[in-house]
Amino acid sequence: MNTGLKITAFGAAIAATFGTAYGIGTSIDPVVATKPPAAHDEHAKTGEGAAGKEKGGHEEASGGAGHETAPAGGLQISEGGYTLALDTPRVAAGASTVLSFSVKDESGRKVTAYQREHDKELHFIIASRDLTVYRHLHPTRVADGTWSVRATLPAAGGYRAFADFKPAKKDAAGVTLGADLAVSGTSEPAALPAAGNTAEVDGYQVALDGALTPGKANELKLTVAKNGKPVTNLQPYLGAYGHLVALRAGDLAYLHVHPNGEPGDGVTKPGPDVSFTATAPSSGAYRLFLDFQHQGKVRTAAFTVDVPAAGAAGAKPSAQPGESGEADGHEH
């Protein structure tokens, strides 16, 4: 885990008005199968834990020593000689569907070898364009390089799919690719939630303390409580007590960061606080998704952060108290 995570420049700042919901689900470790899996769901259903991972296309941490990687990714379908190819670019809203995709190299061949970062070869994240639906998936890979995962996307509209991985080549940098995904049906984008600094999910309250400002590293501390009492026995999920994904409203520029410290380092406590150090790349609206695991289940708390222009007052996080995301408890 990186002790100091710095979000590098995305591009132009884009403010937007988007929604508040989020998704959580079942963690499935990537494995090599003999044929595409018929059903491997999102991580909330079983809440299985595993070791955490380093991310490409953003900044990442490991073992408490910070380092910078490539700029935040997901804005391009091809980068560094790799292309994200979705076999299922269109699905039906509310239907349980096996999403299939591959990563192809410059010769058009499917990539079959990846570096295992925090016990994962690849992370697959899907978010709706209005940021009301969020899924962090862990697909399985067959021998020919095809990845598959079962998911249910409840709302119609435009989505963005992100593949986050590091090729097996020596000294290869992490890569984050993004591709559009359409979900059929009538779409009604929601608005950003009102100002606030708390989110609630399944009886858990998560408080966000800290401000994002352009060009300056700040600590973001998220405090987890259940029924008003601090949670002091968070469980490791992907090798950390929490994982944070940030998506910029409008273009969905993608950033995955890990917290300061890691389980078993003799310093980091299993809650109630999980802290991150981050620098906003620009002013604008961002959506933050915090994954944490407790009592064998992964949950996601979502916040909207409005980042002011450089030199202005610090950003105020905004998250509706009581926002609980999708009613089903999610399948992310």
Radius of gyration of the chain (CA): 18
**φ and ψ of 320, to 5 deg:** -65, 125
pLDDT for position 214 = 77
CA distance 228 to 297: 19
Residues 254/125, Cβ–Cβ less than 8 Å: yes
Tokens found for residue 214: 């352009």
Spatial neighbors of 188 by CB under 8 A, at least 6 apart, are: none
Residues 52/293, Cβ–Cβ less than 8 Å: no
pLDDT for position 184 = 93
pLDDT for position 59 = 41
Residues 112/145, Cβ–Cβ less than 8 Å: yes
**Helical spans, DSSP H, in the chain:** none
Ranges of the chain with pLDDT below 70: 1-72, 118, 192-196, 311-332
Give the chain's domains with CATH numbers: 32-184 (2.60.40.10), 198-318 (2.60.40.10)
pLDDT for position 13 = 33
For residue 198, which of 111, 321, 113, 308 has the smallest C-alpha distance? Answer: 321
